[in-house]
Amino acid sequence: MYAYDTLDRTFVAQRTAQFREQVRRRLANELSEDEFKPLRLRNGLYLQLHAYMLRVAIPYGLVSADQLRALARIARRYDRGYGHFTTRQNIQFNWISLKDAPDILNDLAAVEMHAVQTSGNCIRNITTDQFAGVAADEIEDPRPWAEIIRQWSTNHPEFSFLPRKFKVAVTGSASDRSAMRVHDIGVRLVRGIDGAIGFEIWVGGGLGRTPMIAQLLRGFLPKEHLLGYLEAVLRVYNVEGRRDNLYKSRIKILVSTLGIERFRDLVEAEWTLTSGPGLRLETAGIARMQSHFRAPPYADMPGRSREFEAKRLEDSAFARWAKANLFPHKQPGYAAVTISLKPIGGVPGDLTAAQMDAVASLADAYSLGEIRVTHRQNLVLAHVPQDRLHDLWRALDALDLATPNLSRATDIIACPGMDYCGLATARSIPVAQRLSERLAALDEQYDLDQLSINISGCVNSCSHHHVGHIGILGLEKGGAESYQVTLGGSSAEDAAVGRIIGPGFGAEDVVDAVETILITYLGQREDSERFLDTVRRVGQDPFRRALYKQP
Amino acid sequence: MQIIRLIEGQPATDIDVWTRIDDGEPLPEYAPTMVSLARWRSGRNDLVRRNVAVGVRLASHETLEGLAGDLERLDLIALDFPNLNDGRHFTTARLLRERHGYRGEIRATGQVLRDQLFAMARCGFDSFDLQAHQSAESAREAFSEISVVFQPAADGRTAAHAIRTGGAGAHFSAS
Ligand code: SF4
């Protein structure tokens, strides 16, 4: 993983000191809240319903065991003993007081972490595939590129006051696990016609009030030009993006207003003028960055572990977990393990300090001391020898972290909603909890695999409900919560925005509605067809009839 | 009125010698004169004939379009920030310095916050209209809080990436 050098350490230390001074000026009233707001936001600090929330950056979701232990300490010392992992592969602490924030940033800096640009109208944390570097279908590891972009975007003087937030995802595989096409920019490693590896650049994806799927901006960009090209895109956006209306200020609106061709012309024209040597990446620099992400020292092992096969036959609970939560590893004899943060009836993405410490120890013991956060709010131990999977599973089970539900009906993505978030129009956590309880049995009986249910507490769509196979959006109607349901969304390579099925449901009825949808699916599905494919094949009518009791 | 000025990269407090002339107002005889883009366009000949320094101020939605050929006649370009969030002129300043090679003064006016000064300086601004309630002493410190930069900009600082590959300025340089 990327290791800081003196320059990185100096920057983070100076930035922390700078923020401490800004907080001091705010507390002494030398800064008004209006003036302070953009400053605290770009340091990860939000004002929520009950307290400040601090969002800590986890660049492309990668943390070391020591860093996770530091997060556990922060959860204990400054929060209420837990943290919440987000769809941006970050972690949020929900009960922070302003005066503590500089000390927390200090503690983070000690383990090479920070909260820089996790909020505000700037380039946000770069996200990627949680299986980067281990996936067999990978063209190239996307993490060095994510880190190159992260550094370039850090404290970028020109792009610190953009029209709106700006999110970039990078993927190195054909199957997109990074939700690249719902980002402002999606960068995808591809092989060009002559065999050289470069990038596809996608632009204008995003959710919120006006969900859009990114369009292809450039089919092939040579590697050395990545930053020059991104700078051109950002510059066009900074100048041309709307600033008069919060809901029309994302780059997706600019792209759709101009049309992709016109937007492309502007970018290419800008790029030919900015593509001087200043931002060109040299081979040596790329290689140095890649060396930070070299494959760890794996042991030589047979491709199939006898131990693992035997335990699977012996222990059906283990077999069930192994079926759901393992991902094939490119190194023979290894597997990537997903730790579900979606216990039945639990709060999606929450982890207690004690669990963080325990996961850190397990990462040290089983997975080369490294943990990854996924955009589905789960954790991954990416390098586990198959021989040791059963031991690991037992340890996880004892921590209540072995729920065998990855990408299943109860692997629900939910934002904090009305329980914490100042922008919420409805609760999302309690809905997720009740749904999880209701669907657990149905899943066990009918194998509700490859299903994504996403719940957002307002139109900002932090849980990406538009691209959930089943999306739930909590609104407020006449003083009561009303949940709007969409079907058929996807954030993968077949990205699509789901369609609203009909009138919303009250808080009491939405769980029944989802159950009805799934029962309808079970009646319609052919063989082991995914929910999404059934919806695409049969359309919305059967679901609508079942939900609204139409003939 | 007080401004902050960067002199060879070092911030100093200075007196503002420029007179802002509104559209329709008569031109002063001697004082360095700052006019709007519209006034510059309509009264360009009168303005240059006087042999007095001329500056143009651009509102946040105005760009350099049509102004590139005039730059060498302008001693000052004032870029206005109507609020804390409008960052368009960060781009304008970089374009002035890096694309057009403008050597005159680039001033930030309007809602200029102490905590934006560093980014502004990196983009090529070299003078700043500080709002009355902000402390000049504290503002001067804003330029030296951060010493590491991660991308080339108009200030010619060497980015971290270039320092690491050893070619100070050879790789990531802006000159
Ligand atoms: S979707 Fe809305 S309620 Fe949920 S976290 Fe985002 S802003 Fe808050």
In this complex, is the C-beta atom of B174 within 8 Å of any C-beta atom belonging to chain A?
Answer: yes
Q: Of A109, A143, A174, which marks where a domain is finished?
A: A109
Q: How far does the centroid of ligand 1 lie from the alpha carbon of residue A476, in Å?
A: 13
* Residues contacting ligand 1 via CB (< 6 Å): A 415-417, 421, 423-424, 456-458, 460-462
What is the 3-state secondary structure of A8-75? HHHHHHHHHHHHHHHHHHHHCCCCCHHHHHHHHHCCCEEECCCCEEEEECCHHHEEEHHHHHHHHHHH
Q: Which residues contact A486 (CB under 8 A, 6 or more apart)?
A: A465, A466, A468, A470, A471, A472, A473, A497, A498, A499, A500, A501
Among B88, B115, B174, the residue with its CB nearest the CB of A22 is B115
Q: Residue A316: what pLDDT?
A: 96
Residue B37's identity, in one-letter code, is: L
Q: Residue A259: what pLDDT?
A: 98
CB contact under 8 A, B153 and A238: no
Name the closest residue on chain B to residue A37, using Cα atoms.
B84
What are the boundaries of each domain within chain B?
2-144, 147-175
Distance, CA of A161 to CA of A60 (rounded, Å): 23
Q: State phi, psi for A220 to the nearest 5 degrees.
A: -150, 125
A262 and A323 inside one domain = no
Minimum distance, in Å, between the CA of residue B101 and any CA atom of chain A: 13
Residue A121 lies in a domain: no
Q: Of A398, A424, A458, which marks where a domain is finished?
A: A398
Probe target for ligand 1 pocket from A47, A182, A423, with the most ligand atoms within 8 Å of CB: A423
Question: Which stretches of A97-210 are assigned E, i.e. beta strand?
Answer: 127-128, 168-171, 185-191, 197-203
Q: How far does the centroid of ligand 1 lie from the alpha carbon of residue A418, in Å?
A: 8
* C-alpha torsion sign, points B151, B154, B158, B162: positive
Q: Which helix (H) or strand (E) holds A78?
A: helix A65-78
Contact B71, B58 (CB under 8 A): no
Q: Which helix (H) or strand (E) holds A547?
A: helix A541-548
Minimum distance, in Å, between the CA of residue B167 and any CA atom of chain A: 11
CATH of the domain at A380: 3.90.480.20
A148 and A208 inside one domain = yes
A148 and A258 inside one domain = yes
| Per-residue pLDDT reduced to its tens digit, B3-48 | 999 998 899 999 999 999 999 999 988 889 999 999 999 999 989 9
Of A5, A7, A116, A237, which to mutate for an interface test with B (greatest number of B Cβ within 10 Å)?
Answer: A7
Q: Which residues contact A6 (CB under 8 A, 6 or more apart)?
A: none
Residue A492 lies in a domain: yes
Q: Which residue has the tokens 């299986």?
A: A131
Contact A27, A98 (CB under 8 A): yes
Cβ atoms within 10 Å of B7's Cβ, excluding its own: 10
Distance, CA of A519 to CA of A436 (rounded, Å): 15
Q: Which domain holds residue A17?
A: 6-109
| Per-residue pLDDT reduced to its tens digit, A297-310 | 999 999 989 999 99
Distance, CA of A199 to CA of A170 (rounded, Å): 10
A143 and A267 inside one domain = yes
In this complex, is the C-beta atom of B131 within 8 Å of any C-beta atom belonging to chain A?
Answer: no
Q: State phi, psi for A97 to the nearest 5 degrees.
A: -105, 145
Contact A152, B150 (CB under 8 A): yes
Question: Which band of pLDDT confidence, cut at 50, 70 and 90, is reported for residue B172?
Answer: very low
A369 and A465 inside one domain = no
Cβ atoms within 10 Å of A261's Cβ, excluding its own: 8
pLDDT digits (tens), chain A, 551 positions: 999 999 999 999 999 999 999 999 999 999 999 989 999 999 999 988 888 999 999 999 999 999 999 999 999 999 999 999 998 889 999 999 999 999 999 999 999 999 999 999 999 999 999 999 999 899 999 999 999 999 999 999 999 999 999 999 999 998 999 999 999 999 999 999 899 999 999 999 999 899 999 999 999 999 999 999 999 999 999 999 999 998 999 999 999 999 999 999 999 999 998 766 678 999 999 999 999 999 999 999 999 899 999 999 999 999 999 999 999 999 999 999 999 999 999 999 999 999 999 999 999 999 999 999 999 999 999 999 999 999 999 999 999 999 999 999 999 999 999 998 989 999 999 999 999 999 999 999 999 999 999 999 999 999 999 999 999 999 999 999 999 999 999 999 999 999 999 999 999 999 999 999 999 999 999 998 999 999 999 999 999 999 998 76
CB contact under 8 A, A35 and B84: yes
Residue A120 lies in a domain: no
CATH of the domain at A253: 3.30.413.10
A482 and A531 inside one domain = yes
Distance, CA of A112 to CA of A110 (rounded, Å): 6
A281 and A324 inside one domain = no
Written as six digits, the tokens of A3 are 């290791």
* C-alpha torsion sign, points A221, A226, A228, A232: positive
A121 interaction partners in chain B (CB closer than 8 Å): 85, 87
- A154 vs A14, B89, B145, CA distance in Å? 13, 19, 15
| Per-residue pLDDT reduced to its tens digit, A487-506 | 999 999 999 999 999 999 99
| Per-residue pLDDT reduced to its tens digit, B98-110 | 999 999 999 999 9
Q: Residue B167: what pLDDT?
A: 57
Residue B77's identity, in one-letter code, is: I
Residue A408 lies in a domain: no
Structural domains in chain A (count): 4
Minimum distance, in Å, between the CA of residue A468 and any CA atom of chain B: 32
Q: Residue A84: what pLDDT?
A: 95
A186 and A255 inside one domain = yes
Contact A274, A228 (CB under 8 A): yes
Written as six digits, the tokens of B142 are 């804003």
Residue A14's identity, in one-letter code, is: Q
Contact A129, A142 (CB under 8 A): yes
Does the predicted model carry a pTM greater than 0.90?
yes
CATH of range B2-144; options 3.30.390.50, 3.20.20.70, 3.40.50.2000, 1.20.1260.10: 3.20.20.70
First to last CA, chain B: 33
CB contact under 8 A, B94 and A158: yes
Residue A405 lies in a domain: no
CB contact under 8 A, B88 and A151: no
Residue A186's identity, in one-letter code, is: G
Minimum distance, in Å, between the CA of residue A170 and any CA atom of chain B: 19
Q: Of A398, A424, A451, which marks where a domain is finished?
A: A398
Q: Which helix (H) or strand (E) holds A317?
A: helix A316-325
Instruction: Please classify residue A65 by burial: count the beta carbons closer than 10 Å to its beta carbon, then call 0-12 exposed, 13-18 middle and 19+ buried.
Output: buried
Distance, CA of A268 to CA of A352 (rounded, Å): 48
Q: Is the pLDDT of residue B133 over 90?
A: no
B173 interaction partners in chain A (CB closer than 8 Å): 277-278
A272 interaction partners in chain B (CB closer than 8 Å): none
A255 and A391 inside one domain = no
Percent residues over pLDDT 90 in chain B? 75
Contact A110, A4 (CB under 8 A): no
Residue A515 lies in a domain: yes
Q: Residue A50: what pLDDT?
A: 82
Written as six digits, the tokens of A492 are 């993968």
Q: Is the pLDDT of residue B157 over 80?
A: yes
Q: Is the ipTM of this complex over 0.85?
A: yes
Distance, CA of B55 to CA of A353 (rounded, Å): 59
Probe target for ligand 1 pocket from A53, A454, A462, with the most ligand atoms within 8 Å of CB: A462
Residue A127 lies in a domain: no
Q: State phi, psi for A432 to the nearest 5 degrees.
A: -60, -40
Q: Residue B169: what pLDDT?
A: 42
